[in-house]
Chain A
């Protein structure tokens, strides 16, 4: 008898990744967010090719040229620089800071969380109390204090934002590890003679990775917000480099006669952060069928 598979059964043969992908696609705002993120990253990467002007070229004869005039699509700033070109170049800095922060915070949080959860005892106490200390200090206060005394290059800014962002990931991972290490497959791994490092990073961590991925996506959003606040306050990315935050640095003084200089960079931040937040939300729903948030 020829093996004929009924359609209903073959349709059920789905991979886990496929299921997650389909659930993600159902989340329309999440998909929109992911698409916008992809577009923004592409624009940032291609900034030198797509920017209509040199973002650093100063021509004060075009000071505060309004949007659409003299070839400045989004106007010119206080030094006559093209706002659109600066937005594109600033996007490279702001996105890079956000993405690298999320990777660093995700890695540090995962490693510290696994180690704390797995070893427990003093190790656990030290890591979790360190997290408590950092979680008790208002982030902006702490960041400003750190930034004021560092050489404010983009890498240092990224590092300190990561330093204040790893705690939620660590708590999350630790919680997962505490639940996971009771399970049989960990006993099995031990019985097979797996060393601690293998149990932690090959058995425990991969099973706790889904929430980390979600947290990391949302961390990109908060990191971009933090960087923009720091740069706005003058302690983040320093001129002449442009970031969306530092483009607003002096905006306060001329909002009355050149409001567009203040409007577009903030719009860029909001759209970017919103996209990462929507994508993160969709990812959470897609990865965790139990939290059926609707």
Chain B
């Protein structure tokens, strides 16, 4: 296991170099480069601009800049925000809990609903439920998250006043769990919809496949009750690959979180990314591109390790 983890980490190194390189190149594509913000400022003279450029090291060749930035990133230092002057790492980290809260709730909601509908669809194949749930899952996959968010706001916030139209808590109010949950409900349900559809489709085909296995026939042949055959022998085995799927879908969830956070004014990393783009805050953009990719790689490694834990047949080598 330890050897496997080490090898995976070693494999991640060239990927991270590639990712950081792509991120760095994107920012060099920027018209005017990172200096564009200052160039727009009427107080700046040409001499000021040159001085700042020199101060930030932007007058050096690109490869030198990249190496310096990468060396800093290795030691956990991602530079300073152009907008606020604060360290990029701190700016990002303070937004992480909100995004984690949102994504964890969305995962939870989607697993409960997705697995339930998928399993029922498979067990009661060709039933009315199946004929409704299976196309419904496709609708879930085809609905743009931001639009579903807008509809949720129109109906549940504007019409029914069940949930607030955005934010993570009532501004100025003291902390209360109920208040936080009411704010969380909308965005978590919206972000969860897509994953619910993914789980549901996956569970259905996974259960159907396991049902054709020899050990299921054996279980039936030895006279086990259908409930035991389904629950203990079929569903339990069919759900194992969900772990892998959760890891694979982490990347899409992170993208979905960005959109959801924007619609619901949720103060997470996705919204920070969009705000940084609007403010041309290059160092934060770069840091976020890198950190989100690290999170995706970590997520897939975690999923693979977890899979070996839940399924003893899988040996990591």
Contacts and interface: CB of A to CB of B under 8 A. Distances in A.
The answer on A and B forming one complex is yes
Interface of A: 29, 129-130, 132-142, 144-146, 148-150, 221, 225, 228-229, 232-233, 235, 245, 248, 251-252, 255-256, 259, 262-263, 265-266, 269-270, 273-274, 277-278, 281, 293-294
A233 B271 CA distance: 11
25 contacts: A132-B15, A133-B15, A134-B22, A136-B297, A138-B251, A138-B292, A139-B252, A140-B255, A141-B288, A145-B27, A145-B285, A146-B29, A149-B27, A228-B146, A229-B144, A233-B274, A252-B263, A256-B158, A259-B154, A262-B151, A266-B147, A270-B139, A270-B144, A270-B147, A278-B138
B296 A138 contact: yes
Given A29-B135, A233-B259, A255-B154, A145 B146 contact: no
B64 interface: no
A136 B20 CA distance: 11
A138 B270 CA distance: 11
B221 to A, nearest CB: 24
Nearest to A259: B154
B26 interface: yes
A228 B149 CA distance: 14
Contacts, number: 141
Contacts of B135: 29
Contacts of A252: 150, 153, 263
B144 A144 contact: no
Interface of B: 14-15, 18-19, 22-23, 26-27, 29-31, 125, 135, 138-139, 141-148, 150-151, 153-154, 158, 205, 251-252, 254-256, 258-259, 262-263, 273-274, 277, 285, 288-289, 292-293, 296-297
B258 A141 contact: yes
A61 B144 CA distance: 32
A54 B142 CA distance: 29
A145 to B, nearest CB: 5
A129 B153 CA distance: 41
A149 B258 contact: no
Q: By DSSP majority rule, is chain A's interface helix, strand, loop, or mixed?
A: helix
Q: By DSSP majority rule, is chain B's interface helix, strand, loop, or mixed?
A: helix
Contact of A141 (B144, B148, B153, B254): B254
Contacts of A274: 138-139, 142
Contact of A248 (B18, B22, B150): B150
A150 B27 CA distance: 11
A33 B205 CA distance: 22
A134 B255 CA distance: 14
A268 B148 CA distance: 13
A140 B259 contact: yes
A145 B18 contact: no
Given A138-B255, A138-B258, A144 B274 contact: yes
Given A142-B22, A146-B29, 4 more contacts: A145-B285, A149-B27, A149-B31, A263-B154
A144 B251 contact: no
Contacts of B262: 233
B254 A138 contact: yes
Contacts of A256: 154, 158
Contacts of A145: 23, 26-27, 277, 285, 289
A277 B198 CA distance: 13
Given A139-B251, A139-B255, A277-B142, A255 B293 contact: no
A149 B282 CA distance: 11
B289 A141 contact: yes
A261 to B, nearest CB: 10
Contacts of B258: 138, 140-141, 144
Given A136-B293, A149-B27, A255-B153, A225 B259 contact: no
A133 B259 CA distance: 22
